[in-house]
Structure 1
Amino acid sequence: MFRNRPIPALLAGTMLAGLSAPLAAQTPAAAPTDAQPTAPTPAAPASTQPPAAATAAAPAPAAPIIISRIDVVGSQRIEPDTVRSYVKLRPGDVYTAEAGDQAIKDLFATELFADVTIREANGVVTIEVKENPVVNRIIFEGNKRLKEDKILKEIRLAPRQIFTRSKVRADVARIIELYRRQGRYGATVDPQMVMLDQNRVDIVYSIVEGGKSKVQQINIIGNEKFSDGQLRHEMATKQARLTSFFSSNTSFDPDRLAYDQQKLRQFYLTQGYADFRVVSAVAELTPDKRDFIITYVVEEGDRYKFGDVKVESDLRDFKADFAKSLIPMKKGDWYNAKQVEDTVNSLNETAGLLGYAFAEADPQFDRDPEKKVMNLTFRIAEAPRVYVERININGNTITQDKVVRREFRLQEGDAFNSFQVKRSKERIQSLGYFQEKFEIDQKPGSTPDRVILEANLEEKPTGSLSLSAGYSSLERFLVNASIEQTNFRGLGQSLSASVNYSKYAKSVELGFTEPYFLDKNIALGGSLFRRDYNSFNFINGNQRNNTYSQVQTGFGLRLGVPITEYVQFQARYGLSFDDVSLSKALYFSGGKCDPLLAGRFLCDAIGNRTTSSVGYSLVYSSLDNGIRPTRGKRLVLSQDFAGLGGSVKYLKTVLSADKYVNLGRGFVVNFSLQGGYIHSFEGTRLDASGTEVDPVRLIDRFYLGQPQMRGFDIRGIGPRVQRYAFDPTTNSLITTRKQLLADDSIGGRAYYLGHIEMQIPLGSGVRELGIRPSVFVDVGSVFGVRRPPLTSLEDFRDPADKKIKAQCRNQSTGGITFQGADGTCPEGAFAIQPFGEAFLGDTPKPRVSVGFGVNWNSPFGPFRIDIAKALLKQPGDDTQLVTFNVGTQF
């Protein structure tokens, strides 16, 4: 009956019904007694109509407030209409207190205002706002361990943004988290706001970094099968010790704590302990509140063996019998979870080779706790054969799409092949244009039998411009200026120009390579060069003395064509003009090169000649990365024939092989072996004195030493001629005083060289500095040259008295006499003191050195230092313990 009545009427009726009880109490009645209590008078029924007088006394309902206008006060940067758009109030709506409260909440939610007030008067709603200030600058104080650029990338606030307290609180928490990542758990951040004019503020984060919290001790409780040391070795976190100075993993990191628990579990699962679990892992601060002590409680459980291992396949072209041959584990072997994981990957890759991109091998375990046996079934469910629907390339802003697409071994419409996808990734990485960590993602296509391949790239700088000066143990002071762009115009072209100047070498070179000439898989390139080299020897201790100079001018053309995916054929042609000369003031007499002054082999090398050569290389490479490989191998056979015109005729053959093995945990071993031989077609060659000499000229031979073979000086290995001074008091040569020794390397016609080098991983902090250490063993030799004519003491024996005397050489005519009894030479002649020469080092016996080296991309240029000890050497070899280079690459 009251359902449709107005609310005020209901309230009035309720009030009147309440008044009926006291009215009824005034009706006369018998006096109540204790034995007979008076029953209460019942209330009037709800249907009773209230008296008219009571109805007239109810208050009139309030009239609703209709919004006629909305005004905005206090906005400066933000337009009033924008402020109105943030609230739900509109002219013509009914205004209530609840609507006003909701409008205030909506405005504060925008985080644009520091204060909001809403007033209403006669239908006019006034919104008064105070805008949040604009951030002018963000300043960090006290940060030494974290640079500003690293912090700015992590925080939310930035210049020209709107200031909000929530963002400041979030930034403070993030900065503290960054310091905790470094193990600095005592770090504090105090945000301060400096008010400026025009409603701007500077935000100052005052940072107290605190000390770095190390992991002082790692305790393990419950391990019986493996020692604490073995288990700590499996963890990423290391105890702070003197030997862990370069490691960044000695600081405490909660995320690393969880990672170490997983590493422990993985280790035990590879050893057969399928029930292993980490019961608890607790990190506690030491009493001095500086370091942490971590305690793991583990439960090893029983050790399992493999039981029955089966394969079930629903794929038509991937039968179970064939799949069973891919499974390495056998019944009775100790259970190994890593082996199971690798087998799953192997089965998935094999299915991918057959075109089943989404086929997955599901390992199903059947554990028998009583027999301690783990039965295993690999279930390969049915999946459609898949084709490539589309290839998407993302992230290449400079590099053109075709540069990346031509490295793909799959094309749109081809049957999917996981091996070809992996190979495509390796080829793209080998370009050197993109960051190393990228993947080719596989996404479902428009139908179940279609797949979309997506390469998400991140480009890195491919150009370099450098102007540097440095000091080298080989070159002394040097200057280098170079410009190189390996991705010229985003087309993958290589363009380079360089100028090098040092005391003993000067060169200028221009080069260009087009890897896909006319959009065909043909590489075409060329270079122009002019090089000025000076050979030298050492006299009077460390005094370096030029022996001959070679000026070479020429050009080269090269062509590369792939034969198969892994084999490439390269052809080249080169034309060069050489001018080899000696100082006439030092080494000439009578207008000719004097063998007693320069050495017979140097006199034979001087002159002009033209070399016109054609050559080829067969290259096999399966390296996963052509720039910094971690696995794979590379074989190269090269031959160059000089004699296609020109004045020099020879055939030079070089064979090299490299193999990289990834040992895991960042350890990479490189096995390298190379060798070469040069054969001359010029026949017998005679020097100026008519003596037969080696047909291969001095500057065409092979040389070996530092930097190819560390532990030895430059050209410190192989055939050489040493000149010894004469001691008249003993009437013999002085062979023990190195400062009186002249030593010239003359090279050989054959050589071999081998390396075993292992890269040693360091902590992430050291890697960020660009430091890459390695240990190595070098083995090699160069040999096979014809014995050159030598000068002996007999050449200084005076036929008159049979005594060893200095020769007197006439400067203008070259005539020879001997010193007189007074020890003087005739006018116009100079004295050549007696000496004797020895031919050493021409042997294939190996030279061996061991050592370690460090590459460092330092702020002032690349730096390389090697410390190597020669274990095996031959008479005449020059050793060197420490070699370094600053300002240029070796």
Structure 2
Amino acid sequence: MLVLARFFLFLTVVAGGFLFASPGLAQTSPQTGVQTGGVVREIRVEGARRVEPGTVRSYLLIHKGDAFDPERIDKSLKSLFATGLFADVTIRRDGDVLVVDVVENPVINEIAFEGNKRIKTADLKAEISLRPRVIYTRTKVQNDVERILTLYRRSGRFAATVEPKVIQLDQNRINLVYEIHEGDVTRVQNIRFVGNHAFTDSDLRDVIRTKETRWYRFLSSDDTYDPDRLTYDRELLRRFYLKNGYADFRVSSSVAELTPDHKAFFITYTVDEGPRYRVGNVKVAVKLRNLTSATLMRENTLKRGDWYNADAVDKSVEKMTAQVGNLGYAFVDIRPRINRDRKKHVIDITYQVDEGPRVFVERINISGNVRTLDRVIRREFRLVEGDAFDAAKLRRSKKRIQDLDFFKKVDVEQVPGSAPDKTVINVKVKEKSTGALSLTAGYSTTNGALVGASIRERNLLGTGRSLSLSTQIAQSQSTVNLSFTEPYFLGRDISAGFDIFHTASNRQSTSSFNSKSTGFALRAHYPLTDTLTQGWRYTLRSNQVDSVKDTASTFIKAQAGKRMLSEVTHTLGYDTRDDKRNPTEGVFAQLTTDLAGLGGDSKYFRNRIDGSTYYQYADGWVAHLRGATGYVMPLSGNVTILDRFFLGGDDLRGFASSGVGPRDRVSGDALGGQWFYSGSLETSFPIGLPKELGVAGHVFTDFGSIGKIVPSSSEVQNTGSLRASAGFGLSWSSPIGPIGVDFAWPVLHEKYDKSEVMRVNIGTRF
């Protein structure tokens, strides 16, 4: 019996194995739940409304006539999900039919944003990838949420939250709403430095762009946390230390820690200063024929024993490159070789001058200029297609394009051309608004309270032309002026234009009369070199002296009435200043020559020379020496009072406007002079406040004199003696405009001069 039982058990196991192994019988796949075995006789798609059934079948990896393969069915399921068209997909078997049941993702009808005040809706829409009439998917929504949060973090709002909301509509459509809670700006509460010994934390905070939050930075975004700015700050620190001789300097780490309430950041820079290096031997190694090292050594700005300065090395390379180019060498490569002695802390510098690769400019591509014409940018290039490539000229070209002030950003890139000896220059610009409607309000001791308005377009119709209309009404002087400038007249580097003007001046307090000038001027200005410019101007205007007081000087009364002036002016200017608004080094000089008498009633020859030099001898300490002199010679008759020089006020502080010079003994009216000279020695310095406040102090001494009128008379007080004053002041580049206050006292003066202790200038533009 036991043997018989074992025999029946064996038959059962064999029969079961046969049944499971038989291809004609079904078994269930654990992955999809679909029974295997048999052949697919039909594929039926259910739930598809917007998507065609044929489209659904095209994504399947199993087709009619194939066997029910669980692996291929599983891959088909994943393929359908990957399309992003469906919110849910199931595949099941109904006999010999493979049923694909889909739930379609809805279509976005409209996208809206709620709660966004700091970032415009247009900017948010440009950032996200979803659009109306696009299929909605949760993955894309989450990606767009991250993009929006990134946009807010760039603006310093790390506490911002974004919650997407879906509003169901008919026909499987939805409205997508992003509910935004912007939160407060995440400020930088504290910036610390670890490892710095040569410079204090305060010194290094002045170097970097990121600032600690303070009440006076309400108009600045530098105290908001920006990770991109953190990278820029590391580079600023590196440049600062290299400039001061620390050639081994490196930033070990920069860590930004967010406070638990997400309202502020603590930033810590860990630095390794290393030793400070002095300059050792400086050499120029030249491998070009007919070029000596002595020729280029004069352009070197570092001497043996100086502290090493990476900026000075770069400047020397630029000067040497320019000098070699002026000598006619088109293909030159100048590289500074640095040999560092870590034991002696000395750096030897060798400027290696080799013949560079013979490369020519194949093409100049310009992009990003939607409004500005190509030729406006192209004419600023010092290189043209076909020229030998010159890196120095390329740098000057970029600076000239930036100086147009038409663009927020200018990128110039050199890429290989179609051949080894050719290069392509790509210029990418980002335009900014060049039109301005401005209102002006302020006060000055010279003109009193003033208001004004102007409208200006600096890039008219994208041609680079400038057109402006301005008016100013003040207690002492009011003006209306219409100006037009063509920067490249007749296709040449000549700035030409015209001015139409009317000026009304009240001089009752200084000379007992009023005046009016109405006319126009034609002008042209062009460069002779990078630093030398020349200009011409023709002016035709009607001058009128009226409202003369009964008690006025007899010399003033004789000037009453109208006169026509026809004047030709020539200017020659020289300018090497590093910044025209706030210079710290460089020289400015200008010679102005006026010739009147080619028609009109006034006939004279007048010369004037102005000059300034700036020198920064310590960080923030700038010495400024200014001087001016002039002489007007009558060619017929007398020089009218409107054509004379006046001295005092801004050009001789401590004295009132027109407070120095020939004066009527009885009325005290200022009569002006035929010659003058003035000068000033001034030092500006920081007063301990943060640099970004723009507040500086200065001490100064002014001097000058003025004299001679024709005809001379005993009724005129006119000594021509030297006057001098000394004083101090404060200047503030405030958010509402420049503000200056000066206090000065005469040191050398005449008893009939008019003094003025305090001088105030307040101006604003909005």
- TM-score, length basis structure 2: 0.76
Q: Secondary structure at the residue paired with 1:703? A: coil
Distance 1:126 1:559, change over 3 A: same
- 1:577 positional shift: 2.1
Distance 1:461 1:707, change over 3 A: farther
Sequence identity (%): 33
Amino acid in structure 1 at the alignment position of 2:562: N
**For 2:17 and 2:207, how far apart are their aligned partners in 1?**
93
One of 409, 412, 419 as aligned partner of 1:447 = 419
1:645 alignment counterpart: 599
**For 1:527 and 1:305, how far apart are their aligned partners in 2?**
55
1:719/1:782 contact within 8 Å kept = no
Alignment deviations for residues 288-314 of structure 1 (CA, whole Å, 9 cap, x no partner): 997766666666666666677777676
1:658/1:670 contact within 8 Å kept = yes
Amino acid in structure 2 at the alignment position of 1:675: T
One of 880, 885, 889 as aligned partner of 2:758 = 880
Matched, 1:701 2:624: no
- 1:203 positional shift: 1.4
Alignment deviations for residues 336-377 of structure 1 (CA, whole Å, 9 cap, x no partner): 6666666666677777777666846374657666x7666776
Alignment deviations for residues 771-830 of structure 1 (CA, whole Å, 9 cap, x no partner): 8656556635451144999999xxxxxxxxxxxxxxxxxxxxxxxxxxxxxxxxxxxxxx
Alignment deviations for residues 647-700 of structure 1 (CA, whole Å, 9 cap, x no partner): 2111121222355678999998876543322222235xxxxxxxxxxx322211
Distance 1:243 1:710, change over 3 A: farther
One of 532, 535, 551 as aligned partner of 1:570 = 535
Distance 1:410 1:52, change over 3 A: closer
- 1:188 positional shift: 4.7
Distance 1:444 1:23, change over 3 A: same
2:179 alignment counterpart: 204
**For 1:207 and 1:626, how far apart are their aligned partners in 2?**
41
- 1:639 positional shift: 0.9
Instruction: Please show how residues 865-876 of structure 1 align to structure 2 within 5 Å.
Output: 865-872=739-746, 874=749, 875-876=753-754
One of 706, 718, 722 as aligned partner of 1:783 = 706
Amino acid in structure 1 at the alignment position of 2:740: D
**For 1:754 and 1:103, how far apart are their aligned partners in 2?**
89
Q: Secondary structure at the residue paired with 2:377? A: helix
**For 1:246 and 1:302, how far apart are their aligned partners in 2?**
39
One of 189, 194, 201 as aligned partner of 1:220 = 194
2:209/2:233 contact within 8 Å kept = yes
Distance 1:265 1:114, change over 3 A: same
**For 1:257 and 1:525, how far apart are their aligned partners in 2?**
46
One of 367, 380, 385 as aligned partner of 1:394 = 367
One of 401, 414, 430 as aligned partner of 1:458 = 430
Alignment deviations for residues 159-194 of structure 1 (CA, whole Å, 9 cap, x no partner): 748565556545655666667667776x25252526
2:22 alignment counterpart: 58
- 1:537 positional shift: 1.6
Alignment deviations for residues 713-755 of structure 1 (CA, whole Å, 9 cap, x no partner): 554555555878xxxxxxxxxxxxxxxxxx6443333334556
2:731/2:741 contact within 8 Å kept = yes
- 1:606 positional shift: 0.5
Matched, 1:582 2:547: yes
Amino acid in structure 2 at the alignment position of 1:220: V
**For 2:253 and 2:462, how far apart are their aligned partners in 1?**
54
- 1:205 positional shift: 0.8
1:534 alignment counterpart: 506
Matched, 1:854 2:732: yes
Matched, 1:129 2:104: yes
Matched, 1:864 2:742: no
Matched, 1:427 2:400: yes
- 1:578 positional shift: 2.2
1:390/1:451 contact within 8 Å kept = yes
Using the TM superposition, name which of 240-249 and 254-263 deviates more.
Answer: 240-249
Alignment deviations for residues 306-344 of structure 1 (CA, whole Å, 9 cap, x no partner): 677777676668777877776666777766666666666
2:520 alignment counterpart: 555
- 1:865 positional shift: 2.2
**For 1:870 and 1:242, how far apart are their aligned partners in 2?**
33
1:637/1:656 contact within 8 Å kept = yes
Matched, 1:618 2:582: no
- TM-score, length basis structure 1: 0.67
Amino acid in structure 1 at the alignment position of 2:707: G
Matched, 1:489 2:461: yes
**For 1:404 and 1:676, how far apart are their aligned partners in 2?**
39
- 1:609 positional shift: 1.6
Matched, 1:139 2:114: yes
**For 2:431 and 2:544, how far apart are their aligned partners in 1?**
45
Distance 1:701 1:452, change over 3 A: same
2:723 alignment counterpart: 845
Alignment deviations for residues 129-151 of structure 1 (CA, whole Å, 9 cap, x no partner): 0225445321226x6xx555797
Q: Secondary structure at the residue paired with 1:416? A: coil
Distance 1:279 1:455, change over 3 A: closer
Distance 1:748 1:465, change over 3 A: same
1:781/1:847 contact within 8 Å kept = no
Amino acid in structure 2 at the alignment position of 1:410: L
1:749 alignment counterpart: 674
Instruction: Please show how residues 193-272 of structure 1 align to structure 2 within 5 Å.
Output: 193=165, 195=167, 197=169, 199-209=174-184, 212-215=187-190, 218=192, 220=194
**For 2:654 and 2:147, how far apart are their aligned partners in 1?**
50
1:476/1:502 contact within 8 Å kept = yes
Instruction: Please show how residues 800-839 of structure 1 align to structure 2 within 5 Å.
Output: 839=717
1:361 alignment counterpart: 335
2:378 alignment counterpart: 405
Q: Secondary structure at the residue paired with 1:428? A: helix
Instruction: Please show how residues 758-777 of structure 1 align to structure 2 within 5 Å.
Output: none
Distance 1:281 1:606, change over 3 A: closer
Distance 1:178 1:418, change over 3 A: same
- 1:868 positional shift: 1.5
**For 2:336 and 2:42, how far apart are their aligned partners in 1?**
67
1:603 alignment counterpart: 557
- 1:855 positional shift: 4.4
- 1:412 positional shift: 1.9
Q: How large is the Cα RMSD of the aligned pairs?
A: 5.3
**For 2:662 and 2:62, how far apart are their aligned partners in 1?**
99
2:631/2:674 contact within 8 Å kept = yes
**For 1:52 and 1:294, how far apart are their aligned partners in 2?**
73
2:32 alignment counterpart: none
Amino acid in structure 1 at the alignment position of 2:335: A
The answer for unaligned runs of 5 or more in structure 2 is 1-5, 26-36
Q: How many residues align?
A: 732
